[in-house]
Amino acid sequence: MRKFDDILAMAAERKGSFGAVLDGIAAAKPPEEIAAIPDDLWLAGMARGIMQAGISWTVVDKKWPGIEEAFDHFDVGRCAMISDDRFDALIADPRIIRSPPKVRAIQENAVFIQEVARDHGSFGRRIADWPAEDFAGLLQWMQKSGSRLGGSTGAYLLRKMGKDGFILSRDVVARLVAEGVIDKAPTSKKAWAAVQEAFNTWAEQSGQPLTVISRVLAQSINN
């Protein structure tokens, strides 16, 4: 496995300079800012990712005001208690993406958020307190405990909310494969542990946050 500086140099050669690789990367939010994000915004973020999966993001963007209205602006209590009649009305509502599995996932994630908030004070508090050294564990927890938050959905949500972490995009996975960390996108606990260990090693070498390391890995790959 190459050292981080070597991979950064590869990325800089591809992009033309170190600045082209590193400039513009959004800084992660401090834990207390993440902890202060209201639960309804977490549910809204989950819902957007779920609605966007498999369709044009532009379509979801255009429909988003109507989606917010249909789901009571993602009031967690209301969304957790969707009755059968309301569920039927939602999947017939032209304001939203009319997918029964996606609507059900939003309800299930409202329940998920409620349960986490009951144990930790808020969903944001739980995310804020999760250590960066186990970001892979956070992604796996969200996939297992939430609904339709696997793949890149959970990772993009966390990035948007300001949590330091990595996204296992096609290019990032390709770099991890090239470095001998994994042989494909991780699915087993062993593979996820190997990914986390690699990121932790590069973080120790560079002093950079996981978000920056993820960006560098992605830009080091020739497409």
**Residues ≥6 apart with Cβ < 8 Å to 154:** 49, 139, 142, 143, 146
Kindly report the pTM of this predicted structure.
Answer: 0.94
| pLDDT at 223 > cutoff 70 | no
Pick left, alpha or beta for residue 151 (phi over 0 → left; psi -120 to 50 → alpha; otherwise beta): left
- Torsion angle, CA of 103/107/110/116, rounded to 10 degrees? -120
What domains, with CATH codes, occur in the chain? 4-28+166-219 (no CATH), 35-130 (1.10.340.30)
90-145: pLDDT as tens digits: 999 999 999 999 999 999 999 999 999 999 999 999 999 999 999 999 999 999 99
| pLDDT at 26 > cutoff 90 | no
Average pLDDT, the chain: 96
Q: What is the pLDDT of residue 222?
A: 74
152-195: pLDDT as tens digits: 999 999 999 999 999 999 999 999 999 999 999 999 999 999 99
